[in-house]
Amino acid sequence: MCGRYALSATATELIEHFRLLSCPEFGLRFNIAPQSTIPVIRQKPDAGRVGQLVRWGLIPSWTEDPSAGSKLNNARGETVAEKPMFRSSFARHRCLIPASGFYEWQPIAGRKQPFYIHPTAPDRFFAFAGILAAWTPPAGETIVSTCIITTGPNEVMAPIHDRMPVILQPEQFDAWLDPSNNDTAALKAMLGPCRADLMSAYPVSPAINSGRA
């Protein structure tokens, strides 16, 4: 799973790095928890890539209970195309979730040691594979939400945890974001672990366990 991550970038940096048309401002954050408002990248038809602020925790468009979003922070890549709560979003509403790194916890001698996993190359960002949904209450404004797609571990992650976010590479962005791309087999083929040499990990303080850290 992926339950915490960091994004130490400005909107301008994301615009430059991901070649966006626009991106709303947001604060630098080093311990982002589910239910937070986060920036995602989507493809605006006939225009280009744009940034958008959404809620982390997917609320399926058809649900009557928005609290479902508190449980749908991640979607397993092995089943995201088939499960009812995810398949419509996977088919038509895919996004990238930019990150400076993410946290995972390794069981060690009866306790859990947090690790920070980040791009090996300096001044780079991860691009998590994500999906979006728009839920409209009977009265009120539409809530757009997202979740992170996960997969099995690569060699860096395997000693730490048995899951990791799907991290897409620049050459995959266009196909992933294209809302008209309905090649399910090709999309699912992207949902494996990234190359181990693209990421590094080191232990961090247990203070990160607090969402206020």
Cite the active site residues. Answer: 2, 104
| Type of residue found at 115 | F
Could you tell me which of 2, 40, 4 has the C-alpha nearest to residue 164? 2
What are 1's two structure tokens? 């799973």
Residues with Cβ < 8 Å from 164, sequence gap 6 or more?
A: 2, 104, 117, 150, 151, 152, 153, 154, 157, 193
What are 57's two structure tokens? 């925790």
Question: What's the angle, vertex CA 138, arms to CA 134 and CA 144, rounded to 5?
Answer: 15
Could you tell me which of 140, 162, 166, 5 has the C-alpha nearest to residue 59? 140
